[in-house]
Amino acid sequence: MSKRVRKAVLPVAGMGTRVLPGAKTTPKNLLNVVDRPILSYVVEEARAAGIEHFVFIVGRGQGAIEDYFDANPEIEGALEAKGKAEILADVRRDLGKPGEMSFIRQMAPLGLGHAVWCAREVIGDEPFAVMLPDMLMAAAPPALAQAVDAYEKVGGNIVAVEPAPEGETHKYGIVALDRKGGDGQNGRLNRMTGMVEKPPLGTEPSNLFISGRYILQPEIFQILETQPRGAGGEIQLTDAMATLMTRQDFHALEYEGTTYDCGDKIGLLRANVAFALARPDLANEARAAIEALL
Ligand code: UTP
């Protein structure tokens, strides 16, 4: 029986170039979608998948992330004194429980693979999740829970994927599949035979891109230890996974849901609109405001 997935790595140390200057003083994962930071949704998604320990890989100037999950007696006291119970509960909803969050500095943004490697001592010898927090996923059950469910069926390594928009496969990491093997979830879970970072158009092995939720075995750390720089001069997680795939099983899960790339201006805007329209307390007002603008 496979070991349970208890820990998640959340790398947030990237530059956030595409959402500058907003991401200059506010780490991009603390930018709001409606009234909560992006990270709040992702931690909620992780909790729903049974994650018990969160390992944030942070960069310089991102202390606000740690502060967000910490108590703030001044704000909480003021809300309490004013009897604002609902807002207080909302503020407290995201507080970390004692000991469940670790913050590790990635001293230079050398790439996603390097960021994940920075978590090796805290993860130890057990399977773990990786969540790219700027990819916000609206899904029921939540996306990571779908990946954990797939992992419990087939073990090994799981990579969440979804169809790339028409003509855009060259912008993403794309997977190659063996659709005959491993189907445990209505044709959505398939054995992977390869993956390629940003294939030139016309050469892509499928239209499915790696969308930001992974379950990996700890052997990935040994590979990352000596992983040379790849595309863009960065230490790429995809390259290390391709090596691990020569030794262990990988399955791609085409999860059911919608992804919003909040590291991108339009993606962040779409997420705000979609999440506001999905909120029972805001839907009517949000719809009226959007319609008025159109
Ligand atoms: P991205 O490339 O999407 O994020 O990395 P970025 O670098 O912040 O964005 P741009 O391209 O400059 O706009 C995917 C995830 O990996 C993290 C990022 O924070 C993001 O969550 N990451 C990337 C790190 O933690 N460290 C790195 O060295 C690189």
Per-residue pLDDT tens over the stretch 62-92: 999 999 999 999 999 999 999 999 999 999 9
Instruction: Determine the pLDDT at residue 99.
Output: 94
Handedness of CA 5, 120, 131, 45 (dihedral sign): positive
pLDDT in tens, 230-274: 888 899 999 999 999 999 999 999 999 999 999 989 999 999 999
**Gap from CA of 112 to ligand 1 centroid (Å):** 7
Instruction: Determine the pLDDT at residue 184.
Output: 46
Instruction: Determine the pLDDT at residue 26.
Output: 87
User: What CATH number does the domain containing 99 carry?
Assistant: 3.90.550.10
Domain membership of residue 231 as a residue range: 7-293
Q: Best of 39, 112, 118, 261 to mutate for ligand 1, by most ligand atoms within 8 A of CB?
A: 112
Ligand 1 neighbourhood includes 14 CB (under 6 angstroms)? yes
Confidence band for 186, pLDDT divided at 50, 70 and 90: low
Instruction: Determine the pLDDT at residue 180.
Output: 66
Structure tokens belonging to residue 287:
């719809």
Tally of domains within the chain = 1
Ligand 1 neighbourhood includes 113 CB (under 6 angstroms)? no
Position in ligand 1 atom list of the atom nearest CA 264: 13
How far apart are alpha carbons 269 and 260 in whole angstroms?
9
Ligand 1 neighbourhood includes 12 CB (under 6 angstroms)? yes
Burial class of residue 213 in the structure, from the number of CB atoms within 10 Å of its CB (0-12 exposed, 13-18 middle, 19+ buried): buried
Domain annotation covers residue 1: no
How far apart are alpha carbons 218 and 209 in whole angstroms?
23
Instruction: Determine the pLDDT at residue 1.
Output: 54
202 Rama sector, left if φ>0, alpha if ψ -120 to 50, beta otherwise: left
Domain annotation covers residue 2: no
Domain annotation covers residue 99: yes
Domain annotation covers residue 230: yes
Higher pLDDT, 213 or 27: 213
